[in-house]
Amino acid sequence: MALDAKTLAHDFDEEALGFDAPARAAPERRTALHRVAAALMALGALAFVLFTTGLDLGGGWSALAATLGLATLGACLWFYVDFKDTAPGIRHDDTFFRGIQNRNLLGWALGLALTGFYVVLYFQPQLEKLGFPAVLERPARLCDPLARLFSGQDADRWFLYGLLYTLAVWVFGLRMFLKYRHNRYQQVRTASVMFFQLGFALVLPNVLKGLNQPEYYLTYFWPLKSWYGEPDGVHHFWTSGTLGMGLILFGALMILVATPLLTWRFGKRWYCSWVCGCGGLAETLGDPFRQQSSKTRASWKVERWMVHCVLVFVTLSTGLLWLNSWRRGEFLGAWSNPFSLTYGFLVGAIFSGVVGVGFYPLMGGRVWCRFGCPQAAILGILQRAFSRFRITTNGGQCMSCGNCSTYCEMGIDVRAYAQQGRNIVRASCVGCGVCAAVCPRGVLKLENGLPGDRFEGAGNPWSVLVESLRRTEGPGYRSWVGSGSAAPSRSDLA
């Protein structure tokens, strides 16, 4: 008999191989600097809690420095110490052994904490009516000196949120710089989202506010910020002076001219992973959790239906609101206000905020972008229909390891295409470039090539949308298995 008794007796369930929490010869190095960093973060957090409960930290800049300042410094130091002695390259060791990145109790707790924060942020007035204290009022006072610097006015809880958001993008952006110090694409892209977050989502709107101009976010347009395209929002900007009118024109040009043009040239990434604030947070704070996005065919189907339904919903509701406005309110009557609020509440607050960020540790950083964002839906249809962008597969070099799929935050089964030698042209791809970075065989490359070389794609936007909703198969071998037709496999060439 060729097989020895040991092999024959060998009987284990490979699905439950048990590689959790491996025994280590040397425990993970935690240096003195790690402890300093942890102490700084803890001190900052403690000061924050004490300040929130009423402790006087001297007001002004000193309070801000003692709380968010210390915590930020500690976090930056932590990441620096963590990466400074590692060699430049992909360092994903232990990703699936660390519980917080792998939906253990800590991961769920973090998800719950983020969700809780968003609930308090969005529903503070309602919670107050129910008797809960306005817990974000005191922390907002921390931001007063900064808010006054930008706008001359005191901070509100939205300013606090903007500051925390920007800090998260910058601190985890620094982490991205350290992690990808061998990768210029990642560095430039990260710098871009950091710049747009600070300049266009924090500073500029507040400066505009201080100048008595509309508080406008130049990086958001209808339909993502649906209010900008609704009668109410347009009226608001129209009546607030020349700048306001200019902003209406800017918004219209962005969605009608710049979006199709830029998406044709660069793919949807020009917005989703270079400019957008939601994308910016996903690419920085969300990076440690990207492997948690589901890659199943079922989740792909849910994604296609959900994201396009949101797009239809926001388009219909905006259209109805304009119809109503044109009929001077007779059309929706008393319903117009609640109707306008529905999108804001359901999609804006619950989906993009509470679920979108709250689920980072559970489903990766792109839950909102993948399942809910109407802007992403439009960009995706354009990308799929006629963009020059694709991820090129390098001939037959793929050996199906699956790093690309595992680390795709949008849940694309990249490997399914790469192992067939097919280019990847998917509506949802935000062009973050991580699949190409983690590939150990140099198989994937983001490119803006000639439309004809994309292998797949094209068609008019409408048929792309219809096909996307009707499609039932996964990406695996659908082009030939089952049909019995000739298989255009790249490896045939050899």
Partner 1 sequence: MHVAILGNGVTGVSAALRLRARRPDWRITLVSGESTHHYSRPALMYVFMGHMRYRDTKPFEDSFWGEQRLELVRAWVTRIDLEKKRLVLHGKPPLAWDKLLLATGSKPNRFGWPGQDLEGVQGLWGLADLKTLHDSCARAREAVIVGGGLIGVELAEMLHSRGLGVTFLVRESSYWNNVLPAEESAMVGREIRAHGVGLRLATQLQSIEDDGRGRAAAVRTDQGERIPCQIVGLTPGVSPNIDLVKESAIPCARGILVDRHLRTRVPDVFAAGDCAEIERPGEKSLVQQVWYTGKQQGELVAEVIAGQEREYEPGVWFNSAKFFDLEYQTYGRVNRNVPGEASLYWEHAGGKKSVRIVHVGGKVIGGNVMGVRWRHAVCERWIEEGRGLAHVLPRIGEASFDPELFARHEQEIAAAFARQGAA
Contact positions with partner 1 (CB under 8 A) in 190-249: none
- List the interface residues with partner 1, window 294-353 (CB under 8 A): 296-297
Stretch that binds partner 1, among 158-166, 216-224, 363-371, 486-494 (CB under 8 A): 486-494
- Report the residue from 115, 263, 324, 406 that binds partner 1 according to the rule CB under 8 A: 406
In the complex, minimum distance from the CB of residue 423 to partner 1, in angstroms, rounded to a whole number: 12
- List the interface residues with partner 1, window 411-430 (CB under 8 A): 415-416, 419
Stretch that binds partner 1, among 57-65, 135-143, 199-207, 435-443 (CB under 8 A): 435-443
Using CB atoms within 10 Å of the CB of residue 402, give its burial: 0 to 12 exposed, 13 to 18 middle, 19+ buried.
middle
Task: Quote the crossing angle between the two packed helices 461-470 and 374-386, to the nearest 10°.
Answer: 110
Does position 273 interact with partner 1 (CB under 8 A)? The reply is: no
For partner 1, the closer CB: 67 or 428: 428
In the complex, minimum distance from the CB of residue 279 to partner 1, in angstroms, rounded to a whole number: 18
Under 8 Å CB-to-CB from 311, ≥6 apart: which residues?
A: 223, 374, 377, 378
Residue type, 326: W
- Report the residue from 76, 436, 464, 465 that binds partner 1 according to the rule CB under 8 A: 436
125, β-bridge pairs: none
Does position 480 interact with partner 1 (CB under 8 A)? The reply is: yes
Q: What is the dihedral of CA 197, 199, 205, 207, to 10 degrees?
A: 150
In the complex, minimum distance from the CB of residue 422 to partner 1, in angstroms, rounded to a whole number: 13
Under 8 Å CB-to-CB from 308, ≥6 apart: which residues?
A: 377, 465, 468, 469
Q: How far apart are CA 206 and CA 153, in angstroms?
A: 9
- Report the residue from 54, 58, 452, 484 that binds partner 1 according to the rule CB under 8 A: 484
- List the interface residues with partner 1, window 439-458 (CB under 8 A): 440-442, 445-447
For partner 1, the closer CB: 312 or 481: 481
Binding mask 368-397 for partner 1 (x = CB under 8 A): ------------------------x-xxxx
Decide if 167 contacts 72 (C-beta within 8 A): yes
For partner 1, the closer CB: 95 or 342: 95
For partner 1, the closer CB: 148 or 445: 445
Does position 35 interact with partner 1 (CB under 8 A)? The reply is: no
- Report the residue from 52, 124, 315, 489 that binds partner 1 according to the rule CB under 8 A: 489
Scan for tokens 């042209």, then name that residue.
425
In the complex, minimum distance from the CB of residue 249 to partner 1, in angstroms, rounded to a whole number: 32
Stretch that binds partner 1, among 19-27, 65-73, 124-132, 136-144 (CB under 8 A): 19-27
In the complex, minimum distance from the CB of residue 264 to partner 1, in angstroms, rounded to a whole number: 17
108: which 2 tokens? 């769920």
For 457, phi then psi, to 5°, come to 125, -150
Q: How far apart are CA 179 and CA 68, in angstroms?
A: 24
447, β-bridge pairs: 390
Decide if 448 contacts 266 (C-beta within 8 A): yes
For residue 162, CA distances in Å to 41, 117, 223, 328, 366 come to 20, 13, 21, 36, 19
Does position 24 interact with partner 1 (CB under 8 A)? The reply is: yes
Decide if 347 contacts 314 (C-beta within 8 A): yes
Q: How far apart are CA 362 and CA 99, in angstroms?
A: 11
Does position 105 interact with partner 1 (CB under 8 A)? The reply is: no
- List the interface residues with partner 1, window 162-191 (CB under 8 A): 182-185, 188
In the complex, minimum distance from the CB of residue 187 to partner 1, in angstroms, rounded to a whole number: 8
For partner 1, the closer CB: 97 or 335: 97
In the complex, minimum distance from the CB of residue 79 to partner 1, in angstroms, rounded to a whole number: 19
- Report the residue from 12, 130, 131, 330 that binds partner 1 according to the rule CB under 8 A: 12
What DSSP assignment string belongs to 343-370? IIIIIIIIIIIIIHHHTHHHH-TTHHHH
Query: Which DSSP letter does residue 26 get?
Result: S
- List the interface residues with partner 1, window 39-98 (CB under 8 A): 87-90, 92-98
